[in-house]
Structure 1
Amino acid sequence: MIEQIDFSHLHDRCPAVIEELVGPFSDAINLPNRGSPPERCFWKNQDDTPLQVLAGDYVEKVFSHHFDLDPTSEIEFFRLALEFCRKNLREGMGRLFTTFLRLASCLPYQHHGHTFLLGILIEFLDTDESKEGNWAQDYEMALMEQWAYDPWSAYSSEPISYRLDEWVNLNAFVSMIYRDLGQSLDNQLCGDLEGEARRYLASYGVTAMSVVIPQLANEDERYKATFKALVACAWINHGGSRLASLKLAMEQGKIPENTINICDEHGNTTHWNEAKWTLMVDGLEHLIKLIPFDRAREHTQHMLKYMKGQVEGRRKRT
Structure 2
Amino acid sequence: METRELRYFVAVAEELHFGRAARRLGIAQPPLSRAIAQLERRLGTVLLERDSRGVALTGSGHVLLREGRTVLAAVAAAEARTRRAGQPPGLVLAAKAGASTELLAALLDAYAARPDPVPVDLRLCRFGEQSRLLREGAVDAALLHLPFDTTEGLDSEELHTEGRVALLPAGHPLAARPALRLAELAALPHLPAPRFPRRDGSYPDGPGPEIRDTTQLSQLVALGRMHAVLPESARSQLRPGVAVVPVLDAPPVTTVLAWDPAARSRPLAGLVRTAVEVFGGGGPNGVVVDGS
TM-score, scaled relative to structure 1: 0.24
More helix by share: 1
Q: Which has the larger radius of gyration?
A: 2
TM-score, scaled relative to structure 2: 0.26
More strand by share: 2
Highest RCO, 1 vs 2 (Cα 8 Å, sep ≥ 6): 2
